C-alpha cells in the first residue's frame, strides 16, 4: 500500500462520518487553541512590559524615600523626603550622571473657556533625557528660567489636544489654579503604556512649582539617568553610598530609609511573573489537550467496535494485520492533526482579538506553533495505538460474524 | 496431470479444550480441481463453515494437511495467510459486506489497494470487473443506493478483480429473493463456464446447490457424500 492510498483511505473513513470526526477533533482543537492562546498572550504580556519600560526610559534610576523607617523608639515613622540639595549633591558627586527632581502638584488647568484637572511636574531639562521625552516644538527651559523659577511650561500632547484643540499653544498663557504659566514647548507623543496616558503631562521648572504651589523645599522623586545601560549598576551604588552618608546612615547593616531602583530590576521581576503565569496557564491548557487526546482514543475504540465487520472484510480480502493497524493509526493521526491545524488557527485568531482588545503587542511564536502541530500529530499516534492494535488483532472469522 | 487447487487430507479442527472441547471437523478429505464449481452443504453445526474458513486460509486446521495450490497452509503465519488471500482468493459473503458510504468502484478497488496496484490501473480494473457482473453504469453508486442483488454483484466484482484462483462464496443468496438468487447463481455459473473460475459455495438451499457440478455434504464434522447434485440431492 502506498502512503497516499493509506492517507486517502483514512480521510475517506473520516469524511464518511464528518460530524463525529469534527466533534472528536473538537477536544484537540480546544486543547491546542488554549495552549497557543496562553503561550502567545504570555509572550505578548511580557513584550508589553518590556516595551513599556523602554518607553519609560530604560536607563532610568528612581530614587524615593522608603514608605516608613524605624524611629528612635522602635516604632515606624515616615521616612524623610529628599530635598533639592540631595539632587544637587548627586549631580556634583557622581560624574556623568543626569539628575532630575520631580515635584508633583495637582491643579486645575484653564485655557480660554476650557478647563481640566492635571498634574504639574516641577523638574529640570535632564528630566526629558532621563525619561526618553522628545520636544516636538518650542524649546527647553533656559538657565535663568530654571534658577529664577520662571512661570514657563512644556506641555504633553493630551493636554494640548484637550485644552487647545486646533489652536496653537506656543506662546500662550495657561492658567494653573490661581497662578499661570507661559507655554514654551510641546512634547512629542508617547502614547499609552500599560493603560497610563504618558502624554498627560505638564512640565515646569522645579523652582516655580516649589515657590508657587508647594512652599516647601522637598522633592517627591529623584530621577537619575545614564547614557548607557551598563553604567546603571555602578551609578546606582554610587548614589546609594552618597545618600547613606547624607542621611546619616553610618552602620553597614542599618536599614535604608530610601529606595534606589532601576527599571531593569522591575523588568526582570515582571518578566518572571509573566513567565510563571504563562507556564501555569499553559499547563492548565495542556490538561485540556490531554482530555482531548483521550477523546480521540475513546472514539477510535468505538469506531473499531463499530467497524468490526469492515475490518473482517479487509482482512479476508488480503489486508495484513499491519495494514489494518496503520490504517487506524493514520485515521487517528489525521483526526488529531486536523484538530491541531484548526486549533492553531483558532488559537492565533483568539490571541489576535484579545491582543487587539487589550492593546497588547502581537507576538507570533513560530516554535510554539510548530511544536503544537507536532504534538497534536503525535497524540494521534500515541492515543491511536491502542485502538489500532485492537483492530489489527481481530480474528477475521469472528470479525466477519460480528453483528 | 493438473494439480488440485484445494487438497485436504484428514483435516481435524477442534475448538476449546478439555470438557468444553468442540470437534468441528473430524477427518475430512477432498480435492477441488481447477474449473470446478462445488457446493458445500450440511445442517448448521455440521462443520461446513469451519471447512470453508480453512479452505479460505482464514483459519488453520488442528490436525491434518491442507494444501492450497500445492502450498502447505498449516505452517504459515497470519501475514503469509493474508498474502495467499490477497493474491489467490476471492470472497463473497451472505450479507455482501460492502464498505458503507463508498462507491461501487471504490469498493471493488479495495483488494487492489492492498495488492499495491497503482491508482489509475485500479480504476480501470474495477470498471472491467463491474462490467463483467453487469454494473458498468453503477460505478459511483454507494451500497445504500443499490438493490440487494446489485450489492451482491458488486461484492462478486470485488472478489473477481484480483483474478483469484478460487472464489469462495458463503451463502451468497441467503439474503436475496428467489428471482435475484437465480440471477446471482447464473452469473456464478457463467463465470465458472466462460472464464474457468473455480468456485466453492456454501449453501443450505438444495435449489442453489443444484447449480453446481459437484456437491459436498457435511454431517457432524464429516464429509458424508461427494458427487454430482442429482446424486447427492436426490
Judged by CB atoms closer than 8 Å, whether chains meet at A312 and B158 is answered as no
Same domain, A276 and A384: yes
Same domain? For A240 and A355 the reply is no
Phi first, then psi: give them for residue A187, nearest 5 degrees: -85, 150
* A393 domain-assigned: yes
Nearest-angstrom CA–CA distance, A324 and A392: 5
In terms of Cα–Cα distance, which of A270, A275, A280 is closest to A34?
A: A280
What is the tens place of the pLDDT at every residue in A131-166?
Answer: 888 888 888 888 888 888 888 999 888 888 888 888
Q: Which residues in chain A touch residue B93, judged by CB atoms under 8 angstroms apart?
A: 313, 400
Q: Tens digit of pLDDT for each residue in A64-114?
A: 888 776 666 667 777 778 888 888 888 888 888 888 889 898 888 888 888
Cross-chain Cβ contact A397/B53 below 8 Å: yes
Which comes out higher in pLDDT, residue B121 or A57?
A: B121
Q: Do A178 and A283 fall within a single domain?
A: no
SS3 A84: helix
E strand spans, A188-315: 192-193, 196-197, 202-205, 218-219, 221-225, 258-262
Please tell me whether residues A390 and A318 are part of one structural domain. yes
Asked if B116 and A318 come within 8 Å (Cβ–Cβ), the reply is: no
Question: What Cα–Cα distance (Å) separates residue B39 from each residue in A208, A284, B60, B176, B220?
Answer: 117, 65, 21, 18, 17
Please report the number of interchain residue pairs, chain A to chain B, with beta-carbon separation below 8 angstroms.
Answer: 68
C-beta atoms of B56 and A316 within 8 A: yes
Residue A271 to chain B, least CA–CA distance (Å): 55
What are the chain A neighbours of B97 within 8 Å (beta carbons)? 309-310, 312-313, 400
The average pLDDT across A262-291 equals: 84
- Tell the residue number behind the cell numbers 503631562, with chain if given: A201
Is A347 a residue whose pLDDT tops 90?
A: yes
Residues A91 and A229 grouped into a single domain? yes
pTM to 2 decimal places? 0.73
Domain count, chain A: 2
Range of the domain at A99: 81-246
At residue A244 the predicted structure's pLDDT band, cuts being 50, 70 and 90, is confident
Instruction: Name the more confident of A385 and A261.
Output: A385
ipTM of predicted complex:
0.93
B60 contacts chain A (CB < 8 A): no
Residue A5's nearest CA partner among B114, B94, B203, B13 is: B114
Picking from A2, A5, A397, the nearest residue to B58 by CB comes out as A397
Sign (positive or negative) of CA dihedral B45, B48, B51, B55: negative
Q: What are the extents of the domains in chain B?
A: 6-232
Taking an 8 Å cut-off on Cβ atoms, the answer to whether B113 and A1 are in contact is yes
Whether domain B6-232 has CATH 1.10.3720.10: no
Amino acid at each position: 500500500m502506498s502512503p497516499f492510498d493509506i492517507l486517502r483511505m483514512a480521510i475517506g473513513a473520516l469524511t464518511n462520518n464528518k460530524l463525529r470526526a469534527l466533534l472528536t477533533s473538537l477536544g484537540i482543537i480546544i486543547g491546542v487553541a488554549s495552549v497557543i492562546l496562553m503561550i502567545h498572550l504570555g509572550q505578548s504580556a511580557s513584550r508589553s512590559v518590556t516595551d513599556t519600560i523602554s518607553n519609560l526610559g530604560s536607563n532610568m534610576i528612581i530614587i524615593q524615600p522608603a514608605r516608613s523607617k524605624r524611629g528612635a523608639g522602635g516604632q515606624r515613622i515616615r521616612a524623610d523626603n529628599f530635598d533639592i540639595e540631595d539632587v544637587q549633591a548627586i549631580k556634583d558627586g557622581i560624574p556623568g550622571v543626569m539628575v532630575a527632581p520631580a515635584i508633583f502638584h495637582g491643579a486645575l488647568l484653564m485655557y480660554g473657556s476650557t478647563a481640566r484637572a492635571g498634574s504639574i511636574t516641577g523638574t529640570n531639562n535632564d528630566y526629558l533625557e532621563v525619561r526618553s521625552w522628545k520636544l516636538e516644538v518650542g524649546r527647553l527651559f533656559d538657565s535663568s528660567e530654571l534658577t529664577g523659577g520662571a512661570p514657563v511650561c512644556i506641555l504633553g500632547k493630551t493636554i494640548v489636544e484637550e485644552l487647545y484643540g486646533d489652536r496653537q499653544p506656543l506662546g500662550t498663557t495657561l492658567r494653573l489654579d490661581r497662578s499661570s504659566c507661559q507655554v514654551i514647548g510641546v512634547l512629542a507623543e508617547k502614547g499609552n503604556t500599560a493603560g497610563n496616558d504618558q502624554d498627560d503631562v505638564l512640565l515646569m521648572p522645579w523652582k516655580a512649582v516649589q515657590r508657587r504651589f508647594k512652599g516647601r523645599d522637598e522633592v517627591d522623586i529623584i530621577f537619575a539617568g545614564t547614557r548607557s545601560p551598563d553604567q546603571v549598576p555602578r551609578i546606582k551604588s554610587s548614589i546609594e553610598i552618597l545618600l547613606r552618608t547624607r542621611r546619616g546612615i553610618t552602620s553597614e547593616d542599618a536599614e535604608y530609609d530610601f529606595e534606589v531602583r532601576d527599571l531593569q530590576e522591575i523588568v526582570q521581576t515582571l518578566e518572571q511573573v509573566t513567565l510563571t503565569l504563562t507556564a501555569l496557564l499553559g499547563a492548565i491548557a495542556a490538561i485540556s489537550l490531554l482530555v482531548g487526546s483521550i477523546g480521540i482514543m475513546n472514539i477510535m475504540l468505538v469506531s473499531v467496535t463499530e467497524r468490526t465487520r469492515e475490518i473482517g472484510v479487509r482482512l479476508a480480502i488480503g489486508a495484513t494485520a499491519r495494514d489494518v493497524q496503520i490504517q487506524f493509526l493514520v485515521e487517528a493521526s489525521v483526526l488529531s492533526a486536523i484538530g491541531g491545524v484548526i486549533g492553531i488557527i483558532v488559537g492565533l485568531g483568539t490571541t489576535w482579538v484579545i491582543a487587539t482588545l487589550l492593546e497588547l503587542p502581537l507576538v507570533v511564536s513560530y516554535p510554539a506553533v510548530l511544536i503544537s502541530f507536532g504534538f497534536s500529530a503525535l497524540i494521534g499516534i500515541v492515543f491511536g495505538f491502542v485502538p489500532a492494535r485492537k483492530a489489527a488483532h481481530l480474528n477475521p472469522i469472528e470479525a466477519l460474524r460480528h453483528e | 496431470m493438473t494439480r488440485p487447487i484445494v487438497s485436504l487430507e484428514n483435516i481435524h479442527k477442534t475448538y476449546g479444550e478439555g470438557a468444553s472441547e468442540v470437534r468441528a471437523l473430524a477427518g475430512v478429505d477432498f480435492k477441488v480441481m481447477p474449473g470446478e464449481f462445488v457446493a458445500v452443504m450440511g445442517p448448521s453445526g455440521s462443520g461446513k463453515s469451519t471447512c470453508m474458513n480453512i479452505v479460505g486460509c482464514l483459519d488453520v486446521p488442528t490436525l491434518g494437511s491442507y494444501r492450497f495450490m500445492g502450498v502447505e497452509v498449516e505452517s504459515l503465519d497470519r501475514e503469509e495467510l493474508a498474502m495467499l488471500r490477497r493474491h489467490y482468493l476471492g470472497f463473497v459473503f451472505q450479507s455482501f459486506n460492502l464498505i458503507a458510504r463508498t462507491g461501487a468502484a471504490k469498493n471493488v478497488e479495495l483488494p487492489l489497494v492492498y495488492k499495491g496496484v497503482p491508482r489509475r490501473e485500479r480504476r480501470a480494473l474495477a470498471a472491467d470487473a463491474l462490467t463483467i457482473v453487469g454494473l458498468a453504469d453503477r460505478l459511483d453508486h454507494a451500497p445504500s443506493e443499490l438493490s440487494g442483488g446489485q450489492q451482491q454483484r458488486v461484492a462478486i466484482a470485488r472478489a473477481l478483480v484480483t483474478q483469484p484462483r478460487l472464489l469462495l462464496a458463503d451463502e451468497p443468496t441467503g439474503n436475496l429473493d428467489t428471482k435475484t438468487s437465480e440471477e446471482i447463481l447464473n452469473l456464478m455459473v457463467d463465470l465458472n463456464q466462460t472464464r474457468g473460475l473455480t468456485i466453492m459455495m456454501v449453501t443450505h438451499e438444495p435449489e442453489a446447490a443444484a447449480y453446481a457440478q459437484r456437491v459436498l455434504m457435511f454431517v457432524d464434522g464429516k464429509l458424508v457424500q461427494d458427487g454430482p447434485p442429482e446424486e447427492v440431492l436426490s
